[in-house]
Amino acid sequence: MVSIETTRGSYALDVLPPTWGTKRVSDHRCLPTTALHILSNGRRFVEPDFAQAYASISHHDSMVGIPIYSSISQIHDYIVQADGAFDETVRGILNLKAQRQRVEIRVVVHRQNYKGLVDLAEFIARNLTFVDQVVLMGLEMTGFAKANLLELWIDPVEYQRELYAAASILDDLGIRTSIYNHQLCTIDRRLWPLAVKSISDWKNEYRPECAPCVVKDRCGGFFETGRLRQSGHISPVLVDGALS
Instruction: Give me the residues that bind ligand SF4 (CB under 6 A), please.
Output: 183-185, 206, 209-210, 213, 215-216, 219, 221, 234, 236-237
Count CB atoms within 10 A of the CB of residue 95: 23
| DSSP H or E stretch at residue 5 | strand 2-6
- CB 207, min distance to ligand SF4, A: 6
Cβ nearer to ligand SF4, comparing 47 with 140 = 140
The strand pairing partners of 64, in sequence order, are 38, 103
Cβ nearer to ligand SF4, comparing 37 with 218 = 218
- CB 195, min distance to ligand SF4, A: 10
Cβ nearer to ligand SF4, comparing 124 with 219 = 219
DSSP string, 100-164: T--EEEEEE--TTTGGGHHHHHHHHHHH-TTSSEEEEEPPP-SHHHHHTHHHH---GGGGHHHHH
The single-letter DSSP state of residue 2 is E
Cβ nearer to ligand SF4, comparing 172 with 209 = 209
Cβ nearer to ligand SF4, comparing 93 with 184 = 184
- CB 210, min distance to ligand SF4, A: 3
- CB 197, min distance to ligand SF4, A: 10
- CB 159, min distance to ligand SF4, A: 17
- CB 152, min distance to ligand SF4, A: 20
Cβ nearer to ligand SF4, comparing 209 with 224 = 209
CA distance 219 to 192: 9
Contact 116, 70 (CB under 8 A): yes
For residue 64, which of 88, 45, 77 has the smallest C-alpha distance?
45
Sign of the torsion angle spanned by Cα atoms 90, 92, 97, 102: negative
| DSSP H or E stretch at residue 53 | helix 48-56
